[in-house]
Structure 1
Amino acid sequence: MIMGHADTLLAMGGAFVAAAVLARLGSRIGLPTIPLFILAGILLGPNTPGFVLLHDPHDLEMLSALGLVLLLFYLGLEFHMDDLKTGGRKMATAGGLYLALNVGAGLAFGFALGWGTSEALVLAGVLGISSSAIVTKTLVDLNRIGNPETKPILGIIVVEDIFLALYLAALQPVLAGAEDIGSAVVQIGKAFGFLLALALLARFGTKAIGKLFATKDNELLVISFLGAAVLVAGIAEEFGVADAIGAFMVGLMLGNTSSGERIRELVHPLRDAFGAIFFFAFGLSIDPGDLPSVLVPVLIAVAVTIAMNVLAGLCAAKIYSFGPGQAANVATTLLARGEFALILATMAAAAGLDARLSPFIAGYVLILAVVAPLVAGRSHWLARVLPGDQETPSGARGTARESTEQPESATHG
């Protein structure tokens, strides 16, 4: 038993150290941290030759889940209720267009591959949904939280997450071969009802929630918000909603209380540390040896996703009256695919779908997880070729270009 604990502690400590070393290296050569965390997981995992830090990626499963919960909790803290009240219609329109373009393209791509109907439905989700974790980390790394285009980006993520909860609830009985439509409807109803309850609580219960978390003791405040985020995330899972969505809603509620600013400061080190473990664990799950057999469809899917994201960025810019700089930021920031695609890969494998799905998803996600943060940091290159007035909207002049040139030392700010 002691040796088992020692092995786990060595793996955890090694993961933190490896992530820290590569993050320092990346900051010196101008690379974002996300792909380096993933690379550390690949190199030190069981699927590559040489030293293996962790033979079973599931040993980091709880820490990885906590990293995702904290990343989305932080995203909720930054998404103010006023944004939902004043920009709900625009947010829904932009998010709906993003989903229509990307999920639709993913479904068409899936059918074009000819792997099967269930496989096409899985690929629709894989190609259609951005990685909330990577998008959040990219915004933090590039110091773009305060940029005008960040609100639409977060709004699209919120719409995606709501769609994700309903999509997973509907897809599960399809992959399991369920013929009972009624049970599928019940699952969807439970997920939607839980999301609605959280939304109503966030809308009308902020004052009462603020009183519950009002304390001058930072230790008690950390324990309180961390407990609430993890508990609601677990309850969300029971209702068929992704755990990270529950954490996001808790952040949304707490960010609008009198303790919101203190919570944002206190959660920073937790978010950065456990977020690194999430991406490291993601790398552990990837087997590079499976990638060559699906390389061509992966590259086609990447090209399709880039094209749809550029189009979606232009649509968002039209809705919000942004210039090409902000349109490029929207398109490149939302490009990453990650944790949701891996969930779908797991579901597809459990359902016995086409064996090519898992390596395809791994290769597709890895390429975009590496490329997206790099491209997002250089979005001004894309802005030069997009149509529209090159001047940014009044009140936001220069932010698009300046934000893309923030030093990587802002990673943990």
Structure 2
Amino acid sequence: MGGAFVAAAVLARLGGRIGLPTIPLFILAGILLGPHTPGVVLVSDPHDLEMLSALGLVLLLFYLGLEFHIDDLKAGGRNMALAGGIYLALNVGAGLGFGFALGWGVSEALVLAGVLGFSSSAIVTKILVDTSRLGNPETKPILGIIVVEDVFIALYLAALQPILSGADSLSTALVDGGKAFGFLIALALVARYGTRVVGRLINTPDDEILTISFLGAAVLMAGVSEWFGVADAIGAFMVGLMLGSTTSGKRILKLVHPLRDAFGAIFFFVFGLSINPGDLPGVVWPVLIAVALTLSMNVISGITAARIYRFGAQPAANIATTLLARGEFALILATMAAAAGLDSRLSPFIAGYVLVLAIMAPLAAGRSEWLARVLPGGKPKTTEAGEDDAGASGSSVPERTSV
């Protein structure tokens, strides 16, 4: 574990000098020092760091929940559902069509629909933090789409599991889906009406006790969420959503920051450990086609979401590039596909596709103004300081300088 931290830190320092984001560098460290690459092998079995990786994901989404207040959900519920529904329809639909076009099988096409359809909550969170955009107006629809995705993921997994396992009982799928949906409703009700009670329970002047309390709550709820068939990340997100609205919210935000950064790095490092570069050459063309398809769907989705929220070209570009990454859910589907004995080309395809987008997304998000120039209403205005106006081209939000 110490070697993983040091390797990630060294590569991040080197990359920072030439302006590269940290996410692909953490992943690269895992690839170079993992069991599939010649040379020094720090970790021979990625499962050795599995719990630390899970903790990294939990903390990333917990932090996201702290930043995304419950009032944002109440105020933008209709627009959030509309933007998220359109995003899913475009991306999941494109993934399903792509899967059938490959001709690998019906079950394989359903897996590919999920792989191409859902963004990586962890990478999206890290991009928003690294680009200092958590306060930008377009961040609300980005987080709203992530929330809608996570709700749909729970239902999608519940429906897909019996298909991959060969179960012919529709009732089993309905029961699993109902259990997951019921748990999500319960979490939403607690977040909506139980914030005051939760605040009293968590509040303490002692930073040590407060840290143990919020960390225990986030990890425990993540585990309970998994038991109900909901992604652990959404459970941690909901806990962050509740605690962020309490009187201790600002202190928790400050205390969790170093934990998020440290274990988030391990999450991406472990992701790199799972990638075998030797399997990638055989699926190069399907990967490139899928990447191009995902990029196109995200641009369309970004423009559509910006129209819904009455934003301009720059926010549309930020939405499109931030949501581009695919990650943890795709890897879950790869594991399920391998266990079900589906086409052997699925695993290397998913690894290559996720790796390319995990590298491309942070780079594209950091240079989203290039995309904004070619979108409808592009060529954003320039302030006296020479910076782009994030709300250009008819945004209804107050002017804000993009970071």
Instruction: State the Cα distance separating 1:64 from its structure 2 match.
Output: 0.2
Measure, in 2, the Cα distance between the counterparts of 1:181 and 1:98: 27
Match of 2:51 among 62, 72, 84: 62
Q: CA deviation at 1:397?
A: 3.0
**Secondary structure of the corresponding residue to residue 205 of structure 2:** coil
- Secondary structure of 1:384's counterpart equals helix
Question: For 2:117 and 2:37, how far apart are their aligned partners in 1?
Answer: 30
What residue in structure 2 maps to residue 280 of structure 1? Answer: 269
Q: Aligned equivalents of 1:248 and 1:26: distance in 2?
A: 30
Equivalent position amino acid for 1:59 in 2: D
Q: 2: CA distance between counterparts of 1:28 and 1:300?
A: 32
Q: What is the distance in 2 between the residues matched to 1:120 and 1:48? A: 30
Which position in structure 2 is the counterpart of 1:108?
97
SS in 1 for 2:344: coil
Are 1:266 and 2:266 an aligned pair? Answer: no
1:43 Cα deviation from its structure 2 partner? 0.1
1:94 corresponds to which of 83, 89, 96: 83
Indicate the residue corresponding to 2:388 in structure 1.
none
Matches within 5 A, 1:145-156: 145-156=134-145
For residue 235 of structure 1, what is the aligned residue in structure 2? 224
Distance 1:22 1:87, change over 3 A: same
Task: State the Cα deviation string for residues 287-328 of structure 1 (Å, max 9, x = none).
Answer: 000000000000000000000000000000100000000000
Among 330, 337, 341, which residue is 2:319 paired with? 330
1:220 maps to which of 204, 209, 213: 209
* Correspondence 1:318 to 2:307: yes
Q: TM-score, normalised by structure 2?
A: 0.96
Within the candidate set 120, 124, 142, 2:131 is matched to 142
Offset at 1:27?
1.5
Aligned to 1:339: 328
- C-alpha distance in 1 between matches for 2:2 and 2:113: 37
Partner of 1:8: none
> What RMSD in Å do the two structures reach over aligned CA positions?
0.9
The CA distance in 2 between the partners of 1:174 and 1:190, in whole Å, is 18
**Alpha-carbon separation, structure 1, partners of 2:239 and 2:66:** 8
TM-superposed deviation, 1:395:
4.7
- What is aligned with 2:358? 369
Deviation at 1:23, TM superposition (A): 1.3
Q: Take 2:149 and 2:168, find their aligned partners in 1: how far apart are those partners?
A: 27
1:132-154 C-alpha deviation (Å, 9 max, x unpaired): 00000000001111111111100
Deviation of 1:394 (Å): 5.3
Contact 2:136/2:400 (<8 A) preserved: no
Indicate how the Cα distance of structure 1 residues 86 and 395 shifts in structure 2: closer, same or farther if over 3 A, else same: closer
The 5-angstrom pairing of residues 27-38 of structure 1 reads 27-38=16-27
Contact kept in structure 1, 2:311 and 2:397, CA below 8 Å: no
Letter in 2 for 1:197: A
Work out which of the residue numbers 187, 190, 202 in structure 1 matches 2:179. 190
Check if 1:130 corresponds to 2:119.
yes
Mapped partners of 1:56, 1:26: distance in 2: 26
SS in 1 for 2:399: coil
Question: Which letter maps to 2:181?
Answer: F
Taking the aligned partners of 1:299 and 1:50, their CA distance within structure 2 comes to 28
Q: Does 1:20 align with 2:5?
A: no
Instruction: Write the deviation string for residues 144-182 of structure 1: whole angstroms up to 9, x where unpaired.
Output: 111111111000000000001111111111100100111
Pick from 349, 370, 375 the counterpart of residue 386 of structure 1: 375
Aligned match of 2:35: 46
Pairing partner for 1:208 from 175, 178, 197: 197
Once the 2 structures are TM-superposed, how far is the Cα of residue 25 of structure 1 from its aligned partner?
1.3
- Residue identity opposite 1:86 in structure 2: A
Contact 2:92 2:113 in 1 (8 A): yes
- Distance in 1, matches of 2:292 and 2:397, equals 34
Tell me the percent identity: 78
Normalized against structure 1, the TM-score is what? Answer: 0.93
